[in-house]
Amino acid sequence: MKLVIAALVVAITAAASPSAAQTPPSQPRVLVDVGGTLLGGGAVGSADATYTTSTGASFTLFSTAQSWSSGEGIIGHLEIRVAPRVALEISGDWTRPEIRSKITSDFEGAADTTATQRVSQFRANGGVVVSFAPRGRWTPFARGAVGWLRHLSSDNTLYQDGVTADLGGGVRYAWREKAGHVTPYGVRADFWLNARSGGLDLAKQSRIVTPGFSVAFILKL
């Protein structure tokens, strides 16, 4: 996936060379793009495993601190323009982060350890895209979306749903007019902050805010 993202970045650089024409292309009503994405990770929170004694007192067996790694994957957007600079958007992505639980303060004195589990993360969002005035063949935009999240363990035995929201923006670059229905004619780069809650989290505080990035080839229906 790193190679896919790198190839798309190279495509942007090559397309933006001085030899590329700078006449803005016509604005299509429907856009589809597919590419690679990287969603960041971070700490979720901590929790204690406790035992209630015969006297009613609480005894801590061990403590856990949970975090998510970053995850690479694929992403796609379907954008339908409803006004000159406003479009409705449906998007979906699949990434493969790792959930990590560091176990400390074991009452038996065992060494600290970290348990890991690879997870498939699926997100489906709906939102709005607001485009700004084009600068040659570059079109900057802002984007907001909310949606559904599902975590599925690598052995397909555990799953949990949650909610997700994105807020950010990016830029499109079109190096030519449409040529066929599936031939790439441009690229799109997005940066955003993602807030998500729920999923396969063991900590009491399951909300997390992380950065996200994607680069995709644009197709036109």
Residue 76 lies in a domain: yes
Average pLDDT, integer, range 89-113 = 80
Rounded to the nearest integer, the mean pLDDT of the chain is 81
Tens-digit pLDDT profile for residues 20-68: 445 555 667 888 999 999 999 887 766 666 656 666 666 666 677 788 8
Residue 24 lies in a domain: no
Q: What range defines the domain where residue 186 resides?
A: 2-19+30-220
User: How many domains are there within the chain?
Assistant: 1
Residue 106 lies in a domain: yes
Residue 25 lies in a domain: no
Using only C-alpha atoms, what is the Rg of the chain?
A: 22
φ and ψ of 40, to 5 deg: -70, 170
Q: pTM of the predicted model, to two decimals?
A: 0.76
Tokens standing for residue 116: 């890991």
pLDDT score recorded for residue 20 = 43
* Residue 124, burial from CB neighbour count under 10 angstroms (0-12, 13-18, 19+): middle
pLDDT score recorded for residue 14 = 47
pLDDT score recorded for residue 161 = 93
CATH number at residue 39: 2.40.160.20
Q: How many angstroms separate the first and last alpha carbons of the chain?
A: 26
With a cut of 60, say whether residue 216 has pLDDT above it.
yes
Residue 169 lies in a domain: yes
Residue 157 lies in a domain: yes
Residue 71 lies in a domain: yes
Residue 160 lies in a domain: yes
